[in-house]
Structure 1
Amino acid sequence: MTRRIVRTIVQVTTAAVFTFFVVFFLDRNFRVLPNALHEYLPSHHAGLVITDVTVTKCKSYNLFSSCALDPALAWHRVDKDLFLGQSLFSSAYLHVRRKREEELGPEDRVVVDVSVGRLNPAGKDDKGGKAEEQERWEARPAGLWVKRSSKRGASDSKEAVTGVDVLFGDDATEARPGWRIVGTSLLLDGGSSIPAAHVTIKRGGEQTVAKPVPRIGDNGRFKIMQLADLHLSTGVGHCRDYLPADWNGGRCEADPRTLDFVSKILEEERPNLVVLSGDQVNGETAPDTQSAIFKYAQLLIKHKIPYVSIFGNHDDEGSMSRAAQMDLIETLPYSLSKAGPADIDGVGNYYIEVLGRGHSDHSALTVYLLDTHAYSPNEKKFKGYDWLKKNQIDWFRETAQRLRKPHKAYTHVHLNVAFIHIPLPEYRDGKLTFVGEWKEPVTAPVFNSGFRDALVEENVVMVGCGHDHVNEYCGLSMQDDKPGLWMCYGGATGFGGYAGYGGYHRKIRMFDFDMNEGRITTWKRVEYGEDVDKRIDELIMVDAGRPIAPME
Structure 2
Amino acid sequence: MTRRITRTLTQLAGLLTLIALLLFLADSRYRVLPTSIHDRLPSHHVGTVVTDITITYCSSANPFSACRLDNEKWQRVEKDLYLRSGWLQSAWLHVQRRKEEELTVGDKVVVGVRVGRLDPGVAEKGQHDEKWESRPGGIWVLRSSKRHDSDSERAVTAVDVLFGADAMDPRPGWKLAQTPLLLEGSKDLQVARLSTRHGRPNPKADEKSRDTQSRVRKDGTFKILQVGDAHLSTGTGVCRDAIGPNKNEPSEHCEADPRTLDFLDSVLDSEAPDLVILSGDQVEGPSAPDTQSALFKLAAPLIERRISYAAIFGNHDDEGALSLSRSAQMGLLQNLPYSLSRPGPENVEGVGNYYLEILAPSPSTHSALTIYMLDTHGLTPDEKKYEGYDWLKPSQISWFTSTAQGLRKQHSKYSHFHLDMAFIHIPLPEYAEKGLVVKGGEWREGVTAPKFNSGFYDALADEGVVAVGCGHDHVNDYCGLRPGIAPATASPNDHGEKKERLGPWMCYAGGSGFGGYAGYGGYHRRVRVWEVDVNAGRIVTWKRVECCGEDVHKRIGELVVVEGGRVVGA
Per the alignment, in what secondary structure is the counterpart of residue 446 of structure 1?
coil
SS state of the match for residue 123, structure 2? coil
Name the CA shift for 1:372/1:66 in 2 (closer, same or farther; >3 Å).
Answer: same
Question: How many residue pairs were aligned?
Answer: 538
3-state SS, counterpart of residue 16 of structure 2: helix
- Equivalent position of 2:435 in the other structure: 431
Q: Of the candidates 286, 311, 316, which is equivalent to residue 288 of structure 2?
A: 286
Matches within 5 A, 1:7-406: 7-18=13-24, 38-72=38-72, 74-124=73-123, 129-130=125-126, 133=128, 136-207=131-202, 208-209=205-206, 210=209, 211-244=211-244, 250-318=252-320, 319-406=323-410
2:242–2:514 Cα contact (<8 Å) kept: yes
Match of 1:29 in 2: none
- Compute the displacement of 1:134 (Å): 8.2
**1:512 and 2:525 correspond:** no
Contact between 1:83 and 1:190, CA under 8 Å: does it hold in 2? Answer: no
RMSD: 2.0
Distance 1:5 1:103 in 2: 53
| CA contact 2:241–2:250 (8 Å) conserved in 1 | no
What SS does the aligned partner of 1:192 have? coil
Question: Could you tell me which residue of structure 2 aligns to residue 440 of structure 1?
Answer: 445
* SS of equivalent to 1:267: helix
1:417: which partner in 2? Answer: 421
Q: Deviation at 1:102?
A: 2.6
Report the residue type matching 2:344 in the other structure. Answer: G
1:344-372, Cα deviation, whole Å (9 max, x unpaired): 10000000000001111100000000000
Residue 270 of structure 1 deviates from its aligned partner by 0.6
Q: Which amino acid aligns with 2:560?
A: I
Are the equivalent residues in 2 in contact too, given 1:34–1:317 (CA < 8 A)? Answer: no
Q: Structure 1: which amino acid aligns with 2:469?
A: G
Given the superposition, is the C-alpha separation of residues 107 and 6 from structure 1 closer, same or farther in structure 2, using an over 3 Å criterion? farther
Deviation at 1:410, TM superposition (A): 1.0
Amino acid at match of 1:440: E
Deviation, 1:48, is: 2.4
- Per mean C-alpha deviation after superposition, the further-off stretch among 517-526 and 174-183 is 174-183
Shift of residue 38, structure 1, vs aligned partner: 2.5
Give the alignment's TM-score, normalised by structure 2: 0.91
Q: Which residue of 2 aligns with 1:484?
A: 503
Give the direction of change, closer, same or farther, for the CA distance of 1:543–1:315 in structure 2 (3 Å limit).
same
CA offsets per residue over residues 278-329 of structure 1, 9 Å max, x none? 0001001000000000001111001110000000001112420000110110
Shift of 1:190: 3.7
SS of alignment partner, residue 405 of structure 2: helix
Whether 1:493 aligns to 2:499 is no
**Structure 2: which amino acid aligns with 1:309?**
A
SS in 1 for 2:175: strand
The 1:249/1:389 distance shift into structure 2, 3 A limit, reads closer
Residues 366-399 of structure 1 show CA distances to partners (whole Å, capped at 9, x for unaligned) of 0000000000011111100000000000000000
Is contact 1:52-1:98 (8 Å) kept?
Answer: yes
Normalised by the length of structure 1, the TM-score is 0.94
Deviations 1:477-514 (A, max 9, x none): 23334522100000000000000011100011000101
Aligned to 2:495: none
Shift of 1:172: 0.5
Distance 1:156 1:527, change over 3 A: same
Question: In 2, Cα distance between the equivalents of 1:362 and 1:516?
Answer: 14
Q: How many Å apart are 1:201 and its aligned residue?
A: 0.5
The answer to whether the 8 Å contact 1:122/1:134 transfers is: no
Instruction: Tell me the distance in 1 between the aligned counterparts of 2:13 and 2:311.
Output: 55
Contact 2:474 2:517 in 1 (8 A): yes
Per the TM alignment, residue 535 of structure 1 is displaced from its structure 2 partner at its CA by 2.1
Pair 394,482 (structure 1): closer, same or farther in 2 beyond 3 Å:
closer
Q: CA deviation at 1:443?
A: 0.3
Using the alignment, how far apart are the partners of 1:487 and 1:331 within structure 2? Answer: 31
CA distances 1:69-94 after superposition (whole Å, capped 9, x unpaired):
1223x111111000000112110011
Q: Name the SS of the counterpart of 1:97 in structure 2.
A: strand
Partner of 2:521: 502
Matching residue of 2:480:
475
Q: Percent identity?
A: 54
Residue equivalent to 1:538: 558
CA distance in 2, matches of 1:533, 1:139: 49
Q: Tell me, in whole angstroms, the C-alpha distance in 2 between the residues paired with 1:510 and 1:468.
A: 17
Q: 8 Å contact 2:257–2:515 — kept in the other structure? A: yes
Instruction: Give the unaligned 5+ runs of structure 1.
Output: 27-31
- Identify if the C-alpha distance between structure 1 residues 543 and 249 changes in structure 2 by more than 3 Å, giving closer, same or farther: closer
Whether the 8 Å contact between 2:242 and 2:251 is mirrored in structure 1 is no
Separation in 1 of the partners of 2:437 and 2:501? 12
Q: Is the CA contact 1:525–1:532 (under 8 Å) kept in the aligned structure 2? A: no
Deviations, residues 83-132 of structure 1 (Å, cap 9, x unaligned):
0001121100110011222322222101111111111223337xxx44x8
